[in-house]
Amino acid sequence: MLSTRGVFFKSSCHFKFPTLSNIIGRYPETRRSAIKLYLIRHGETTWNQQRIIQGSGSDTDLSEKGKAQAESLGRSMKDVSLTRVYSSPLKRAMDTAAAVAGPHNLKVVPEPDLREIHVGEMEGMSLETFGQNFSQFLVDWQTKGDAVDFKGGENLGQFRDRVWTVVRRIVEANPGGSVVVVSHYFVTATVVCTALGMPLTHLVRVRIQPSSRTILEFADGCQPRLLLLSDTCHLKER
């Protein structure tokens, strides 16, 4: 789906989607040694349900729905040949990662720099309350770009540098592998924007659903390629 308010893909399961292996297998043999990075957003939390802002300062648990989402995600990826699973150290991400790593007998590797952005004074604020100041926030975002700060929290440019540095480190450490990175909305959207050369002012145009999977391909001498964005078909097949 192409929305005039933002660009995003919305998965529809009214027809049979190709499997992940089929998607990956469509690319030329010369690229099959490239690393496939499976970017996964954690499952739903109670704060997601209640529309409360949760950044790196809130170590929230998965809701019952979020636990079921993580289990469905794990089942859908059991036949993917994974080499390593990394995760933000926050519980909502680690529990989602454990559901993916379990069928492969892999240990989850916690990576502190995959934690969500520090949202400062917005931590724990309802979206309804935040909405009163949202227009000014968007103006600041569009005019300041990477320099915009979450009041009392993290600068977007510094956040991007933190996240992209750890992603590059993971890519370099796993040549030719298929690696899972479980994190958060801002982390995943920032990695996608950075990989595609998009400024962070475009973050609001990228929709990343809870327990969704996004695939990026990295190969030497080539620009990163987006193979899949925010896929949630596994949740509709439960």
* pLDDT for the residue 46: 93
* pLDDT for the residue 203: 83
Reported pTM: 0.83
Report residue 131 as tokens: 């909405």
53-62 pLDDT, tens digit per residue, is 899 999 999 9
Q: Which residues of the chain have pLDDT under 70?
A: 1-33, 131-139, 237-238
CB distance 124 to 53 below 8 Å = yes
In this structure, the dihedral spanned by the alpha carbons of residues 98, 99, 105 and 106, taken in order and rounded to 10 degrees, is -40
> CA–CA distance from 91 to each of 58, 94, 181, 190 (Å)?
10, 5, 14, 21
Compute the radius of gyration of the chain from its Cα atoms.
Answer: 17
116 is catalytic: yes
Write out 114-138 in H/E/C secondary structure.
HCCCCCHHHCCCEHHHHHHHHHHHH
**Calpha distance 129→99 (Å, rounded):** 34
14 is catalytic: no
* pLDDT for the residue 20: 52
Phi then psi for residue 63, to 5 deg, are: -75, 175
Quick one: 30-236 is in which CATH superfamily?
Phosphoglycerate mutase-like (3.40.50.1240)
6-24 pLDDT, tens digit per residue, is 334 444 444 344 455 554 4
User: Tokens 């995959």 correspond to what residue?
Assistant: 114
CB distance 27 to 217 below 8 Å = yes
* pLDDT for the residue 138: 64
Parse the chain into domains and list their residue ranges. 30-236
Sort strands 178-183 and 84-87 into parallel, antiparallel or unpaired: parallel
Exactly one of 71, 111, 116, 154 is catalytic; which is it?
116
* pLDDT for the residue 79: 95
